[in-house]
Amino acid sequence: MFESLTNKLNGVFGQLTNSGKLSEKDIDNALREVRLALLEADVDFKVAREFVKKIKERANGEKIYSSLTPGQSVIRIVRDELANILGGEVVEIKRAERPPSVIMLVGLQGAGKTTLAAKLSLHLRKKKHSVMIAACDLQRPAAIDQIKQLGKQLNLDVYSEDPSNSNPVTVAKAAYKQAANQGIHYLILDTAGRLAINDELMNELENIRNATSPVETLLVLDAMTGQDAVRSGSEFNNRIGISGMVLTKMDGDARGGAALSMRSTTGVPIKFIGVGERPDQFEVYHPDRIASRILGMGDVESLIEKAEAQFDTEETLALEQKIKKNQFDLNDMLQQFQTIKKMGSMTDILGMIPGMGALRGKFNPNDIDENQIARVEAIIHSMTMQERQDPSIIDGSRRKRIATGSGTSPAQVNQLLNQFKQMQKMMKKLAGPGGKRALMGMFK
C-alpha cells in the first residue's frame, strides 16, 4: 500500500532532516517534490495543489525556519494535513432506530462488493451483532453461489431466492422481513454491479433503496482503478446518495492516490478499506494511521489491533489459562508462530512498525519469515511430547537428536529454546495489565 509514494516522501524528508537549518527555499523545493510524488501516485491535481499550499501556509505561520528542528516540524505538518485530506475522523457505521439496520453495498462489477459483504459481516459479528446478507445480485448466475459459499464457509446467514422467478427488490424486501422477524441487527444487501454505470443499474439500485431505506449506502470502489474510481464515486453519489465509501484492493500495487483524493472530491467519508481477498483482510479506515503509514512512520495502533483480532479467539482463553498455571510450552509456541503468520504478510506488518517502513523495499521479509517459521516447526516437530511440555529436560544428547531429526544444528535448537524462554516471559506479561506493550515486544 502506497509503497512508492512512501519511498519518495522518505527521500524528500531525509534531505529535510539532514540539513539542520532550513531556508524557505529549501522547503519550497521539498514541497515541489512532495507535490510531484502525489501526482505520480494518482492524487487529483487540485487536491495535491491545495495540500502543498496549506503546508506552506502553516510552515510560515509557525515560523519553523527558526526552530531547532525545522525538518521534523515540516514532517509533522505534512502528517497532520495528510490526515486532514484523508478524512480527519474515523466514521462509524450507523444504526437504524429499529433493527435491522440496512447496509446497501453498491458499485461496479468486480469492485469487491460480495467480498466486502463477508468482511463486513465478520467485522459486525466481532462486535457482537447479528448479521444477515441478502443476495440481491441476480445479474450473474454465479453470484448467488458465490455468496452462499462464503456464507457456508464463515457460518453467515445468507438469504437468497431462485433468480429465475424473482428480482432484486423482492429479495431485498423478503430478506428485510425475515431479518426483522428474527430481530437481526444488520442486513447487508449485496447488489449487482455492471461493467459501467448505466440507467438500468441506477434504476435497480434506486428501487432497492426505496424498498428498504438503508441507514448506510456504501459505495465499493476498486482502488486500483485510480481516477476512474473518483469519477464513478461522484456519479453514484449524485444519483443514489452514498453515506460512505469502501476502498478495496489497497493491498495491490495500487498507486493509492485515489484514496487521498476521494474524500476531498466527493465529500463522503471513507469507512473501510479492503487489503486482500481473504475475509479477514479488512480494516476500519483511520485517516491518521493511514497518514503515518504513507509517511513511513508506522502504524502501531493497527498492528496491535490486528494482533488482538488474531489472538481474540478461544485459543487465547485456553492459552491464558495455561499461562496462569505456568504451563505455556513449546506446542503453544508453535501455535503462536502460526498465529503471527496468519496476521498477514510480514511486509504489511513491517510497514506498520515505526521506522521499519523504509526497510520494506530492501529485502523480502516474507522469505525470511517463512524460513524461520518452517525451521521452528521442524525443530518442535522433532521433539517428543515430553520435551515439548518440559524443555528443561533437553540435554546435550537430546539436543543433538533433535537437530539431526529436523535438519538443523544444535546451535539452532538452542536458539529456539532461548526464544521460547523469552516468549514464555512475554506470554506471562501478555496476560497481565501491560499486555499490549508486551505484545509489541514480540516484534522488536
Ligand X SMILES: Nc1nc2c(ncn2[C@@H]2O[C@H](COP(=O)(O)OP(=O)(O)O)[C@@H](O)[C@H]2O)c(=O)[nH]1
Interface residues with ligand X (CB under 6 A)?
107, 109-115, 193, 220, 248-249, 251-252, 274-277
CB closer to Mg ion out of 113 and 123: 113
Q: Does 160 bind Mg ion (CB under 5 A)?
A: no
Closest approach of ligand X to the CB of residue 68, in Å: 43
CB closer to Mg ion out of 78 and 175: 175
CB closer to ligand X out of 149 and 321: 149
Closest approach of ligand X to the CB of residue 107, in Å: 6
Instruction: Please give the Cα distance from 295 to 291 (Å, whole number).
Output: 6
Closest approach of ligand X to the CB of residue 248, in Å: 4
Strands (E), 227-307: 244-248, 270-274, 282-284
Q: Does 115 bind Mg ion (CB under 5 A)?
A: no
CB closer to Mg ion out of 113 and 271: 113
Instruction: Please give the Cα distance from 368 to 365 (Å, whole number).
Output: 5
Q: Does 191 bind Mg ion (CB under 5 A)?
A: no
Closest approach of ligand X to the CB of residue 252, in Å: 5
> Are 411 and 374 in contact, with CB atoms under 8 Å apart?
no
> Are 4 and 255 in contact, with CB atoms under 8 Å apart?
yes
> Are 132 and 186 in contact, with CB atoms under 8 Å apart?
yes
CB closer to ligand X out of 48 and 105: 105
- The item of ligand X, Mg ion, none sharing an interface with residue 73, based on CB under 5 to 8 Å by kind, is none
Q: Which residues sit opposite 135 in a β-bridge? A: 190
CB closer to ligand X out of 309 and 440: 309
- The item of Mg ion, ligand X, none sharing an interface with residue 271, based on CB under 5 to 8 Å by kind, is none
CB closer to Mg ion out of 114 and 217: 114
- The item of Mg ion, ligand X, none sharing an interface with residue 306, based on CB under 5 to 8 Å by kind, is none
Q: Does 406 bind Mg ion (CB under 5 A)?
A: no
Neighbour order of strands in the sheet with 101-106:
157-159, 131-136, 186-191, 101-106, 216-222, 244-248, 270-274, 282-284
3-state DSSP call for residue 78? Answer: helix
Q: Which stretch binds Mg ion (CB under 5 A): 64-72, 114-122, 296-304, 370-378?
A: 114-122
Interacting residue with Mg ion among 6, 114, 212, 302 (CB under 5 A): 114
3-state DSSP call for residue 106? Answer: strand
- The item of ligand X, Mg ion, none sharing an interface with residue 107, based on CB under 5 to 8 Å by kind, is ligand X
Closest approach of ligand X to the CB of residue 146, in Å: 6
> What is the DSSP track for 10-50?
HHHHHHHHHTSS--HHHHHHHHHHHHHHHHHTT--HHHHHH
Tell me whether strands 282-284 and 101-106 are parallel, antiparallel or unpaired: unpaired
Residue showing the smallest CB distance to ligand X in the complex: 274
3-state DSSP call for residue 199? Answer: helix
> In this structure, what C-alpha cell is assigned to residue 432?
497481565
Closest approach of Mg ion to the CB of residue 135, in Å: 9
Closest approach of ligand X to the CB of residue 224, in Å: 9
Closest approach of Mg ion to the CB of residue 134, in Å: 12
> What is the DSSP track for 346-376?
HHHHHHHSTTTGGGTTTS-HHHHHHHHHHHH
Which spans of this chain sit near Mg ion (rule: CB under 5 A)?
A: 113-114
